[in-house]
Amino acid sequence: MFGLGLIDILVIVSYFLVIIAIGFWSMSRIKDQEDYFLAGRRFGKFIQTFAAFGQGTSADTAIGVSTTTFSNGASGIWSSLLYLFSTPLYWLVMPWMRRLRLITLGDFFEERYGSKALAGVYAIIGTIGMMAILSVGFSAVTKTVAALTPKEISQFTVEEKAEYDMAKELDNLRAADYVTLNADQKERLAELNFIKPQKTFSQINQNILMWLIVFIVLAYAITGGLEAAFITDTIQGIFIIILSFLLIPFALSKISLIYNGNGMFDAFRIIHEQLPESTFEIFGSPSAIDFTWYYILALAVMGTLNVVIQPNSLVANGSAKNEYAARVGFVAGSFMKRFVTVLWGFFAIIAIVLYSGEISNPDYVWGYATLDLLGGLNIGLIGLMIASLLAAQMSTSDCLMITSSSLLTHNLYRPLFPNRSEKHYIFIGRITGGVVLIGAALIATQFDSILQILKFMWEVNVTVAASFWLGMKWRRANLKAAWASIGFTSILFFILPASISLFWSGLTLEESLLKTTNPAPVVREYTAKAPDVKARLHEISIWENLPIGEKESTTAPEQLEIGDRFEKTYILPQKSIFWTKGIKKLNNNQLAGSGMLNIELVFLDRIGFDLSKNSYAMNETIRIIIRTVVPFVVFLLVALYTKEESNDRIDRFFAKMKTKVADDPESDIKELELSYNNPERFDHMKVLPKSAWEFDKWDKEDIIGFSLSIVGVFVVIGLLIFLVSVGS
């Protein structure tokens, strides 16, 4: 069936049955909202570790990293690894989530700012963010499973065969040094880069597959709540780790076999022989338009500020039995993800050697490689891989679905319909959870690539980040500043960009908004390797076949030998400056902007900045910096020029946040009462005792854990450097 063997199908079906059974078992243990949404706060470090790993590691992580690395070389690993630098901060911040002692992060906005309406707005924004994360996974897993069931060329339709031929032509043009192409070839290259033809077509309808996954997640997560989600996360975490290691030895062995290597480990040497030096540049090769060092840095700062404000941060840590279990579990699970991310990126580099001439759509690389490397064994490994991918997606889907349903139920529905029974709210939670999954699947259909969805996901929480961070640590943070920051940035960065073209139909055709980047060519010097020599021979062949007139007007490419130093000119593809989904050609061949309009870049263009001279990565970096800084500037200005709030609610909030969570609930209540009765109980811990800033002195646990986390960051980077340099 669809190219899968019987044993593969049995593996997949068996996995589904076990997961659904766990959901129904957990259903019998649910008595109230805290049981459903936070599993009764009864998990220790082991479950917390796999919960953090599982909910942060969806199918999009493995497939997304392989996609961006296959396209951009080693620098593409940063599409997921950019959160690495945030990890030590988790050790300090995640105990806050447990210390809040709340059901949802929306409750924080109600408690800190005294506004149920603000909590409701956060519930909507947080849910959109969760749906964005889910949509990346849905897109990734469906594309990969589609790649596992490819059509043979003989099965292509006429249209698919024509697109396949264009993709092959594009591969040949891209392989050449740009300066050796004649005018017609350069024009054809630009045209094909715009069209982005594919070479791979599937027997499976990706939309049908996506809705099947949604149904399965609904079947076990809606019934069993967070406990079912976290238990399946633990099981699925093991599957994901298997997934991380499974393909690498098979891929290395195949490389060694193809290139007559001396065993599997000799493949490391062969990889460096067969790939250009630019592939191994960790902080952006000239051909990597998406992940330059400055773009990675900007995303890392934004990610550090935004990841904590994601609603699942409270759910993941609020379910722990104490704050030590919360911080250990979240940091350990996050580092597990960082290590396997490096392995996924390394596998994608291996895949470049094996499949660079065969795959035109990098979103398909994981599935294509799986079918090629494991399919011939006929021992169920294809089924195991599909089950692992589905495990990765569903382990994230269940947690984020429960997180979103708790927000919508607790912070939107409950204020509108108070004093209902616990069973009623649990029922509503199940309904809203289903709505979230369906919404995520619909979002996945609105983007052309995984990278586009990733960028939307990274940015969606910028609107509420300032209200969270300043509300946590600054007594002068007030409701007016929160509304101003959230309202202004939501309108400027999301509502207006998404809707303006709907009300102004001709805007997408406006010539001034169809500008593209036109960066200067990039010249780099490298040591010639086998692929460089092969590419140069191809360029020489093209030049020799030119008409006499064209040959006389161009310079003959020089012969290359392995080990020679040579220069290579890169021409970066022209990319839309103002439209998130680029510029597309309509049926009448007219060009039109697509996606959301980057208003902040339009403003810079109007005041005289020539953004066309920048690389695409530079413009994206500018946009990220603006979106990161503006919410904080607006919040600070409004807070400083409005009346300071000083009341018992704020005193109680900061008194609670300084009181560590006790293991025993009764003891914890007593400690809270002591703090409420004496709000200045822990003022001796303040770094700035007479200021409005609530920064506390670190204790021994803070210092040791943070220091070890810093070491962990260097270990991960060291592993990355080792894997991309070994054999060179």
- pTM beyond 0.95: no
For residue 387, tell me if it sits in a domain: yes
Domain that holds residue 655: 648-685
Q: What are the phi and psi torsion angles at 688 (to 5°)?
A: -120, 85
Q: Which residues contact 489 (CB under 8 A, 6 or more apart)?
A: 462, 463, 627, 630, 631, 634
For residue 30, tell me if it sits in a domain: yes
CATH code for the domain of 24: 1.20.1730.10
Segment-wise mean pLDDT, segments of 10 residues, the chain, 728 residues: 66 72 55 44 54 60 74 78 85 86 85 91 84 72 68 75 79 68 75 72 71 68 51 63 76 87 83 80 63 79 82 69 79 85 87 77 73 73 72 66 79 84 75 78 62 64 90 93 94 85 79 83 76 77 72 74 78 80 76 84 90 85 92 95 84 90 82 88 86 90 93 93 82
pLDDT at 620: 86
For residue 703, tell me if it sits in a domain: no
For residue 630, tell me if it sits in a domain: no
For residue 466, tell me if it sits in a domain: no
In terms of C-beta density within 10 A (0-12 exposed, 13-18 middle, 19 or more buried), how is residue 617 classed?
buried
Structural domain ending residue among the three candidates 429, 459, 489: 459
pLDDT at 58: 59
pLDDT at 36: 44
Distance CA 21, CA 538 (A): 58
For residue 573, tell me if it sits in a domain: no
What does R_g of the chain's alpha carbons equal in angstroms? 27
Sign of CA dihedral 541, 567, 289, 248: positive
| Number of domains observed in the structure of the chain | 2
User: In a 3-state reduction of DSSP, which class is residue 679?
Assistant: coil
Structural domain ending residue among the three candidates 406, 424, 459: 459
Distance CA 194, CA 180 (A): 21
pLDDT at 178: 63
Per-residue HEC secondary structure of 56-77 comes to HCCHHHHHHHHHHHHHHHHHHH
Strand partners, 320: 43
For residue 57, tell me if it sits in a domain: yes
**187-205 per-position pLDDT tens digit:** 787 777 766 777 667 767 6
Residue 728: its H or E element: none
For residue 476, tell me if it sits in a domain: no
What's the token pair of residue 78? 């940063």
For 330-333, the CB contacts below 8 A with 24+ separation are: 330/48, 330/52, 330/90, 330/94, 331/52, 331/87, 331/90, 331/91, 331/94, 331/705, 331/709, 332/45, 332/49, 332/52, 333/48, 333/49, 333/50, 333/51, 333/52, 333/53, 333/54, 333/56
Structural domain ending residue among the three candidates 459, 485, 504: 459
